[in-house]
Structure 1
């Protein structure tokens, strides 16, 4: 009898942000995201120049935990989630830790989307979701082997989940999702008339 096993697994972490303390008040986080977006003229200009729908602080602000205490609370919680995920991934970190590299706000309006991309130079990336109204866009994760599939036929539409080429995730407000930074992903078009609000981040391997 043939022995068939799964190799080189891609792991995906999903949990509630408030699984660890300190707990983050989602309403306060929502209000803070919009307060920052309204004041961040450099970020607004970057979005206009790049044709980015909605708002992101990705290219303008690097000090969110200093500006608003609630983002400091988020980082404390993220550190614990990332440590738990790194343990699952069985990383041999030695004496070095995974530390926050950057943290940014995303406000995606109706019709907005974020095309497929990866996060170079990072180890673990992820998002915590602040507002996910009904019809808000899902997160699409892509099989990282696509570039090497050569002449492979398409998968069956009802293929087992671990065999599918794309996986769609529909997180809820208060969720956190983590993945290894090389995993290509995209945010599908927001079908809701309300904004999709999230906070994304990268973790790197500390130098010391």
Structure 2
């Protein structure tokens, strides 16, 4: 018989940490947000290559992912956002103790996502990067959350499901509901998706990769 007086304990290992910040708290950034929204909409109207790619691949709305690799080089307001991202991404890298050999992570791509009603974005990772994330420009009522998947899921085989009432860090899937101005960061190997968007107005975000 096990002697429970020995005070057995649990060790928490292989942690997955997601970073969340509210950029509306940055002085003057609400005006930047307004300009970002106008610029995203304007680029979507002008980018025929991105429109064609979105339609061909069943993306309800618009993404510049395949047409404009780094929007920060196309409008100064994205450079304003990049300055904030540089700070937060490298803060996150320090917090999760990445060994970068005294270098800083740098932006390698940034693109616009405008998701119309009933649009989705299926599960995926961001290969060949260290940190990825999304900044939320417009999140109307009913807009979808972002859903993260336990990276161990393919190896779980016959593992029982977790109780829905259990702790968030023990669930196989966790959703984050962003707000306008929310910044989310995660390690690029973490699989994630955007479930069906039920908002009548477009859900606008800017995604990016650092390496």
TM range (shorter): over 0.9
How far apart, in 1, do the equivalents of 2:106 and 2:151 lie? 24
Q: 1:22 to 1:77 in 2, by over 3 A?
A: farther
Aligned to 1:146: 153
**Deviation at residue 19 of structure 1 after TM alignment:** 5.3
- CA-to-aligned-CA distance 1:66-98 (integer Å, 9 cap, x gap): 321100001111000001100101111113321
1:12 aligns with 2:18: yes
Aligned to 2:83: 76
Structure 1 stretches of 4+ moved >6 Å: none
1:170 aligns with 2:177: yes
Q: 1:79 to 1:21 in 2, by over 3 A?
A: farther
8 Å CA contact 2:70–2:111 kept in 1: the answer is no
8 Å CA contact 1:20–1:80 kept in 2: the answer is no
How far apart, in 2, do the equivalents of 1:165 and 1:115 lie? 17
Give the gaps of 5 or more residues in structure 2: 1-6
1:104 aligns with 2:108: no
Aligned to 2:194: 187
Aligned to 2:3: none
8 Å CA contact 2:107–2:208 kept in 1: the answer is yes
8 Å CA contact 1:55–1:107 kept in 2: the answer is yes
In the alignment of these two chains, the number of paired residues is 204
- Give the TM-score of the pair, scaled to structure 1: 0.94
The 5 Å alignment of 1:43-62 reads 43-62=50-69
The 5 Å alignment of 1:105-124 reads 105-124=112-131
How far apart, in 2, do the equivalents of 1:185 and 1:19 lie? 26
Moved more, 44-53 or 194-203: 44-53
SS at match of 1:45: helix
How far apart, in 1, do the equivalents of 2:201 and 2:29 lie? 25
